[in-house]
């Protein structure tokens, strides 16, 4: 049941995985997006896949990380970080030490900052290209990967990117396989020391539970079934948009302020 | 001449059989160890055979008598044959006894032959078709060679030239008989069932199933816990040698009568499962080879001969075919109809769950919604993924007493995950109304309750089951109550029969658990409920598997319905032969396609009785049966029927009731 060691693999992939948080109960779990990233990596032919996590090894994060091992891995590299440390430098160092050709991540973490910026900052630091929202990795030949990017409304865009590169997965990527308890339990969490950079800004932040954001209602004025279907398939969009060109900074700012007041964001 | 030939033949057959026995035993010993009491087990065989096994066989009177004559005749004839012809002790009564035994066996074999003339489809053909002839060959030849020994024929009858040919022909027939009955028994012929079956009875994995001189055997239906402490052990059964040795022995005991096949709801629905074939596949796997020689009904939709296995090979392949397809294992509803019917006491459900455990815990391959349900159970403690603190929303207006506030109560009402299901909430509200009408001192765990773990366990996820169970046990240990009452037979079974093994030191997990029908029946008996007479139409009752076959409760629901003034129109398959609704064992979650749906067939059974209403006692059964399109009968839980029939106590009781109650009056049911 364990994946056979692929020593002659031509392609090395590292998947960055994080500790997720269940949306209903808040329990630690394998993050959905990161699990999709692992599934995407497993779907690439002739690739050796490594799992990398930078973070603490707290009591509740271990079962969550083992959830990734349960997808058929013997080991997960754990760059240990104390609470409040910035994962970015640690990950960059770990990737620099043994650079893979492809790094796959989820779009954003399920807890912590969850800003979705990590892939971009990492790409900037490493000087690699970044492609977001993948639905599939179609092929890798001669150091060039053919990727399928997911766009809204089921559209797809085929891209070629020179490796090494960082890519993030979209919700349209294949659903992750089930995590099996046996392999998850037997797998090895290989802790390696890494550089620790304290995130000073984070330490000064205050966190509070998120409130539900208001959603723009879709008002459908459709005469025919075709229009109704189009409206149902469309994403909610603001109707009365306005493009301002050749305006001064003050005029622009005033226009924005006016809009915010109209929408009731500012009172 | 026969004087010389007979001992040679008999002892040669016995010698070859001994070799076969050693070979067969070594096949079983490939399995995992499982300690058994050797001498005590062997000593219990006669009783287990004559009482427990025959209790099952006797459901078919003709076959039972046939078997008594044939098997009894054979055992006696074989022993006497060795004494009379093998050792030459023909004197006196022994020879006459042998004549009687072989004659009895012959009569029995005639009935076997009659049954084989137009065998029902559930019977295996192939080598089994020659068995009546072999039985006759043995009994007739033994009868004939014994005639001179008792003096009915002259001593020298088989001498002289013509008789010499006769003797030779008779010996040939005897060789056939001995070949089938003695040699074949040990080398895997149809008679293997007798030899393996006797040892299977002796070393059965659930010894408590059998009666003892002290009393009846206990129902032993709880699954056995998987040891999760050993980090390196493979979890569940991957290859035939991962079964315990006495499970392998049990597979070998199968007599291929197909009673399991006739009762299996998945087989009837055309899903790719046939319990008989599954057991035969395990035998094939144990010995190594292909299933091409199997001569019974195949798995529906799967031709015989495409699967093969070996003792050390996988049972289910990740890709392609091995011994069994995963769909076969996931088709089972764990209704135990096969186990209930099996005259050889084989435990099909244990084997299926053992193999499922491997698929889920090691392969991570629970089909369809299985993975999602298990993830939900891990993350939210309920299969639907609902918020744990929404568990009591259905009872927002009922002001149910919480155990957390009370600390103790006479009855702990276990709600089950039906608390999240709008249909089952109607049942729960009815049950609360009934309990309040009877002035029962009860309390609920509320949001502290978790899924009992039934579905996780039957989907093979023993780790999640044990996690849920241990947390539930810890919660229950905080409170004092006399018994647990639940309207979910699955929770009932798991709490009552499967938690006990998981209790820790200082935290015993032995509970007195009652199904709500049992408890309501007791309330009726105690005169605490008063109902209007029944005015509706015909009613039938569907026995839930986990209430009936798993826990033997057939009477209480019927006595409640009787107390309501309902006269039941029983279905043909009711009681211990009740047909599953298709909702057990996670079958609605794994959802293996068949030609028909199991609940449709069950509603067909209901329709045959002409009943307008089918009473049920299980949230799964309610959901499955109500899901039937164009059903001829309404589905009502017993609690709903009682609640809608409740009435004020007659005058004589009114005073007493008023004194004892300052609780809210019975509440209206939606």
Tell me the per-residue pLDDT of A251-266, one tens digit each, with 9 for 90 and over: 999 999 998 888 888 8
Q: Say if residue B359 is in the same domain as residue B390.
A: no
Q: Say if residue B270 is in the same domain as residue B416.
A: no
User: Cα–Cα distance between B667 and B670 in angstroms, integer?
Assistant: 9
Would you say residue A4 lies in a domain? Answer: no
Q: Say if residue B646 is in the same domain as residue B560.
A: yes
Average pLDDT over residues B590-594: 95
Average pLDDT over residues A112-126: 92
Residue A72 contacts B where some CB pair is shorter than 8 Å: yes
- Enumerate residues 196 to 255 of chain A having a beta carbon within 8 A of any beta carbon in chain B: none
Q: Under a CB-based contact definition with an 8 Å cutoff, are residues A199 and A85 in contact?
A: yes
CB-based contact B380 A182, cutoff 8 Å: no
Q: Say if residue B78 is in the same domain as residue B95.
A: yes
What's the domain count of chain B? Answer: 4
CB-based contact A24 B386, cutoff 8 Å: yes
Closest-approach residue (CA) in chain B for A68: B364
What's the domain count of chain A? Answer: 2
Q: Say if residue A143 is in the same domain as residue A238.
A: no
* pLDDT over 90 at B312, yes or no: yes
Q: For testing the chain A interface, which of B362, B387, B389 should be mutated: the one with the most A CBs within 10 Å?
A: B362
What confidence category does residue A206 fall into, taking pLDDT thresholds of 50, 70 and 90? confident
Q: What token pair was written down for A179? A: 């995590």
Q: Under a CB-based contact definition with an 8 Å cutoff, are residues B420 and B382 in contact?
A: yes
Q: Which residues of A touch B366 (CB under 8 A)?
A: 178
Would you say residue A107 lies in a domain? Answer: yes
CB-based contact A181 B360, cutoff 8 Å: yes
Would you say residue A246 lies in a domain? Answer: yes
Contacts of B14 (CB under 8 A, 6+ apart): B82, B182
* pLDDT over 90 at B652, yes or no: no
CB-based contact A1 B371, cutoff 8 Å: no
> Which residue's structure tokens are 């980090």?
B231
CATH of residue B400's domain is 1.20.1050
Would you say residue A228 lies in a domain? Answer: yes
What confidence category does residue B666 fall into, taking pLDDT thresholds of 50, 70 and 90? low
Would you say residue B665 lies in a domain? Answer: no
Q: Say if residue A123 is in the same domain as residue A218.
A: no
Residues of chain B with pLDDT > 90: what percent? Answer: 85
* Chain segment B345-390, per-residue pLDDT in tens: 999 999 999 999 999 999 999 999 999 999 999 999 999 999 999 9
Which of B619, B629, B550, B571 is closest to B597 using CA atoms? Answer: B629
Count how many pairs of residues, chain A against chain B, have C-beta atoms within 8 Å. Answer: 54
* pLDDT over 90 at A223, yes or no: no
* pLDDT over 60 at B653, yes or no: no
CATH of residue B293's domain is 1.10.1060
Q: Cα–Cα–Cα angle for A191, A193, A196, nearest 5°?
A: 125
Would you say residue A95 lies in a domain? Answer: yes
Pairing of strands A156-162, A144-150: antiparallel
Q: Say if residue A67 is in the same domain as residue A165.
A: yes
Q: Say if residue B427 is in the same domain as residue B536.
A: no
What confidence category does residue A4 fall into, taking pLDDT thresholds of 50, 70 and 90? very low
Q: Say if residue A116 is in the same domain as residue A231.
A: no
Per-residue model confidence (pLDDT) at position B201: 96
Residue A188 contacts B where some CB pair is shorter than 8 Å: no
CATH of residue A30's domain is 3.40.50.620
Which of B205, B177, B256 is closest to B10 using CA atoms? Answer: B177
Would you say residue B223 lies in a domain? Answer: no
Of the listed ranges A59-68, B16-25, B162-171, the least confidently predicted one is B162-171
Would you say residue A2 lies in a domain? Answer: no
Average pLDDT over residues A147-162: 92
* pLDDT over 90 at B491, yes or no: yes
* pLDDT over 50 at A5, yes or no: no
CB-based contact B371 A24, cutoff 8 Å: no
Residue among B232, B363, B385 minimizing CB distance to A180: B363
Q: For testing the chain B interface, which of A64, A182, A188, A189 should be mutated: the one with the most B CBs within 10 Å?
A: A182
* Chain segment B498-520, per-residue pLDDT in tens: 999 998 888 889 999 999 999 99
Q: Say if residue A231 is in the same domain as residue A105.
A: no
* pLDDT over 70 at A156, yes or no: yes
What are the CA-CA distances from residue A197 to residues A68, A80, A92 (Å)? Answer: 26, 12, 12
Residue where a domain stops, chosen among B495, B523, B551: B523
Per-residue model confidence (pLDDT) at position A227: 84
Q: Say if residue A224 is in the same domain as residue A265.
A: yes
User: Cα–Cα distance between B299 and B317 in angstroms, integer?
Assistant: 17
Q: Say if residue A122 is in the same domain as residue A165.
A: yes
Residue among B232, B378, B464 minimizing CB distance to A186: B232
* pLDDT over 50 at B206, yes or no: yes
Q: What is the dihedral of CA B52, B56, B61, B66, to 10 degrees?
A: -70
Q: Say if residue A242 is in the same domain as residue A196.
A: no
Average pLDDT over residues A135-162: 92
Would you say residue B357 lies in a domain? Answer: yes
Q: Which residues of A touch B232 (CB under 8 A)?
A: 186
Which of B2, B16, B13 is closest to B171 using CA atoms? Answer: B2
Which of B596, B544, B586, B576 is closest to B266 using CA atoms? Answer: B596
Higher pLDDT, B479 or B155: B479
Q: Say if residue A229 is in the same domain as residue A167.
A: no
Would you say residue B667 lies in a domain? Answer: no
* pLDDT over 50 at B237, yes or no: yes
Compute the nearest-CA separation of B404 from chain A (Å).
Answer: 21
What are the CA-CA distances from residue B436 to residues B6, B195, B400, B622, B649 (Å)? Answer: 80, 58, 10, 23, 13
Q: Say if residue A87 is in the same domain as residue A185.
A: yes
Would you say residue B392 lies in a domain? Answer: yes
What residues form DSSP beta bridges with A134?
A149, A169
Per-residue model confidence (pLDDT) at position A145: 94
**Is omega for the bond preceding A164 within 30 degrees of 0, making it cis?**
yes
Q: Say if residue B577 is in the same domain as residue B612.
A: yes
**Cα four-point dihedral sign B426, B428, B432, B437:** positive
Alpha helices in B346-461 (DSSP H): 348-358, 370-380, 403-406, 422-437, 454-458
Q: Which domain holds residue A264?
A: 211-267
Q: Say if residue B533 is in the same domain as residue B560.
A: yes
Pairing of strands B513-515, B480-486: parallel
Residue where a domain stops, chosen among A163, A184, A203: A203
* pLDDT over 90 at B562, yes or no: yes
User: Cα–Cα distance between B27 and B285 in angstroms, integer?
Assistant: 10
Residue among B365, B379, B387 minimizing CB distance to A29: B379
* pLDDT over 70 at B654, yes or no: no
Q: Say if residue B43 is in the same domain as residue B180.
A: yes
Q: Which residues of A touch B357 (CB under 8 A)?
A: none
Q: What is the dihedral of CA A192, A194, A200, A206, to 10 degrees?
A: -20
User: Cα–Cα distance between B250 and B193 in angstroms, integer?
Assistant: 10
SS3 breakdown of chain B: % helix, strand, coil, rounded to 5? 55, 5, 40
Q: Which residues of A touch B378 (CB under 8 A)?
A: 29
Q: Say if residue A185 is in the same domain as residue A264.
A: no
Query: What spatial distance separates the first Cα and last Cα of chain B, rounded to whole Å?
Result: 90
Q: Say if residue B120 is in the same domain as residue B256.
A: no
Which of A137, A141, A165, A166 is closest to A149 using CA atoms? Answer: A137
What confidence category does residue B1 fall into, taking pLDDT thresholds of 50, 70 and 90? low
Residues of chain A with pLDDT > 70: what percent? Answer: 94
Residue among B235, B366, B378 minimizing CB distance to A182: B235
User: Cα–Cα distance between B98 and B80 in angstroms, integer?
Assistant: 6
Residue among A25, A71, A182 minimizing CB distance to B361: A182
- For B645-661, letters b (16+ CB in 10 Å) and e give bbeebeeeeeeeeeeee
Residue among B361, B371, B388 minimizing CB distance to A25: B388
What are the CA-CA distances from residue A37 to residues A104, B362, B528 (Å)? Answer: 6, 21, 61
* pLDDT over 60 at B631, yes or no: yes
Residue where a domain stops, chosen among A159, A176, A203: A203
Of the listed ranges A178-182, B216-220, B408-412, the least confidently predicted one is B216-220
**Cα four-point dihedral sign A205, A206, A212, A217:** negative
Q: What token pair was written down for B402? A: 């919480």
Average pLDDT over residues B43-58: 93
Q: Say if residue A106 is in the same domain as residue A62.
A: yes
Question: To 10 degrees, what angle do helices B516-525 and B638-645 make?
Answer: 30
Q: Say if residue B449 is in the same domain as residue B542.
A: no
* Chain segment B275-286, per-residue pLDDT in tens: 999 999 999 999
Q: Say if residue B117 is in the same domain as residue B69.
A: yes
Would you say residue A250 lies in a domain? Answer: yes
* pLDDT over 70 at B670, yes or no: no
Q: Say if residue B248 is in the same domain as residue B270.
A: yes
Residue A160 contacts B where some CB pair is shorter than 8 Å: no
User: Cα–Cα distance between B252 and B344 in angstroms, integer?
Assistant: 10
Stated pTM of the model = 0.90
Compute the nearest-CA separation of B363 from chain A (Å).
Answer: 6
CB-based contact B362 A182, cutoff 8 Å: yes
Q: Which domain holds residue B67?
A: 2-203
């Amino acid at each position: 049941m364990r994946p056979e060691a692929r020593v002659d693999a031509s392609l090395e992939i590292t998947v960055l995985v994080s500790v997720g948080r269940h949306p209903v109960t808040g329990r630690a779990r394998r993050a959905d997006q990161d699990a999709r990233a692992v599934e995407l990596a497993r779907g690439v032919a002739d690739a050796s896949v490594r799992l990398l996590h930078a973070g603490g090894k707290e009591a509740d994060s271990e079962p969550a990380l083992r959830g990734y091992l349960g997808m058929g891995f013997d080991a997960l590299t754990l760059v240990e970080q104390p609470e409040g440390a910035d994962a970015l430098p640690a990950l960059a160092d770990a990737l620099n030490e043994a650079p893979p050709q492809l790094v796959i991540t989820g779009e954003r973490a399920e807890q912590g900052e969850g800003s979705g910026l990590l892939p971009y900052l990492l790409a900037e630091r490493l000087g690699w290209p970044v492609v977001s929202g993948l639905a599939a990795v179609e092929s890798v030949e001669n150091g060039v990967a053919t990727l399928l990017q997911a766009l809204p409304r089921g559209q797809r865009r085929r891209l070629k990117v020179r490796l090494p590169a960082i890519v993030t997965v979209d919700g349209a990527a294949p659903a992750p396989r089930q995590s099996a308890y046996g392999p998850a339990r037997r797998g090895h969490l290989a802790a390696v020391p890494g550089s620790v950079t304290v995130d000073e800004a984070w330490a000064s932040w205050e966190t509070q539970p998120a409130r539900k954001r208001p959603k723009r209602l879709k008002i459908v004025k459709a005469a025919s079934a075709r229009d109704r279907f189009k409206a149902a398939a469309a994403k909610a969009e603001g109707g009365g948009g306005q493009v301002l060109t050749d305006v001064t900074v003050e005029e622009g700012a005033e226009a924005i302020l006016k809009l915010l007041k109209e929408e009731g964001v500012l009172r | 001449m026969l004087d010389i030939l007979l001992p040679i033949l008999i002892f040669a057959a016995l010698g070859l059989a001994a070799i076969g026995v050693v070979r067969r035993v070594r096949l079983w010993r490939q399995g995992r160890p499982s300690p058994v009491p050797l001498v005590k087990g062997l000593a219990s065989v006669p009783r287990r055979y004559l009482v427990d096994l025959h209790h099952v066989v006797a459901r078919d009177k003709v076959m039972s008598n046939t078997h008594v004559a044939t098997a009894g005749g054979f055992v006696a004839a074989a022993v006497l044959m060795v004494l009379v012809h093998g050792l030459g002790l023909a004197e006196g009564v022994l020879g006459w006894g042998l004549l009687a035994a072989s004659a009895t066996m012959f009569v029995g074999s005639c009935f076997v032959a009659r049954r084989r003339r137009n065998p029902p489809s559930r019977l295996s053909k192939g080598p089994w078709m020659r068995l009546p002839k072999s039985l006759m060959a043995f009994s007739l030849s033994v009868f004939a060679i014994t005639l001179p020994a008792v003096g009915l024929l002259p001593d020298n009858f088989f001498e002289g030239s013509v008789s010499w040919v006769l003797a030779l022909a008779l010996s040939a027939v005897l060789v056939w008989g001995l070949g089938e009955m003695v040699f074949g028994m040990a080398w895997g012929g149809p008679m293997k069932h007798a030899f393996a079956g006797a040892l299977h009875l002796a070393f059965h994995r659930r010894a408590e199933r059998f009666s003892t001189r002290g009393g009846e055997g206990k129902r032993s239906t709880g699954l056995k816990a998987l040891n999760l402490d050993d980090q390196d052990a493979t979890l569940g059964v991957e290859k035939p040698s991962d079964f315990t040795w006495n499970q392998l022995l049990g597979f070998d005991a199968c007599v291929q009568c197909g009673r399991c096949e006739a009762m299996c709801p998945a087989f009837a629905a055309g899903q790719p499962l046939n319990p008989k074939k599954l057991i035969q596949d395990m035998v094939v796997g144990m010995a190594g080879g292909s299933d091409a020689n199997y001569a019974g009904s195949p798995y529906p939709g799967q031709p015989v001969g495409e699967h093969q296995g070996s003792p050390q090979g996988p049972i289910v392949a990740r890709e392609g075919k091995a011994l069994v397809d995963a769909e076969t294992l996931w088709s089972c509803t764990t209704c135990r109809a096969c186990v209930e019917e099996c005259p050889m006491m084989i435990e099909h459900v244990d084997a299926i769950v053992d193999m499922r455990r491997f698929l889920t815990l090691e392969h991570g391959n629970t089909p369809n919604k299985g993975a999602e349900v298990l993830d939900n159970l891990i993350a939210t403690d309920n299969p639907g993924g609902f918020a744990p603190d929404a568990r009591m929303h259905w009872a927002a207006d009922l002001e149910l007493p919480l155990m957390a506030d009370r600390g103790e109560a006479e009855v702990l009402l276990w709600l089950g995950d039906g608390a999240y299901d709008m249909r089952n909430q109607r049942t729960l509200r009815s049950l609360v109304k009934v309990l309040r009408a009877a002035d029962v001192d009860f309390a609920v765990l509320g949001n502290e309750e978790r899924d009992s773990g039934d579905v996780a366990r039957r989907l093979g996820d023993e780790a999640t089951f044990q996690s849920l169970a241990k947390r539930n046990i810890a919660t229950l240990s905080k409170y004092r109550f006399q018994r647990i009452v639940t309207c979910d037979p699955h929770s009932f079974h798991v709490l009552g029969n499967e938690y006990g093994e998981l209790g820790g030191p200082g935290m015993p997990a032995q509970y007195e658990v009652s199904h709500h029908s049992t408890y309501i029946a007791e309330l009726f008996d105690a005169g605490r409920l008063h109902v209007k007479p029944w005015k509706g139409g015909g009613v039938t009752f569907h026995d839930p598997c986990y209430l009936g076959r798993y826990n033997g409760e057939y009477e209480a629901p019927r006595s409640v319905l009787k107390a309501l003034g309902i006269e039941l129109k029983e279905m043909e398959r009711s009681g211990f032969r009740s047909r599953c609704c298709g909702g057990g064992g996670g079958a609605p979650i794994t959802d293996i396609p068949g030609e028909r749906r199991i609940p449709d067939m069950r509603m067909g059974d209901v329709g045959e009785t002409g009943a307008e209403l089918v009473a049920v006692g299980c949230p799964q059964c309610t959901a499955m049966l109500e899901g039937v399109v164009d059903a001829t009968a309404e589905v009502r839980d017993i609690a709903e029927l009682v609640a809608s029939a409740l009435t004020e106590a007659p005058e004589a009781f009114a005073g007493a009731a008023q004194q004892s109650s300052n609780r809210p009056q019975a509440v209206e049911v939606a």
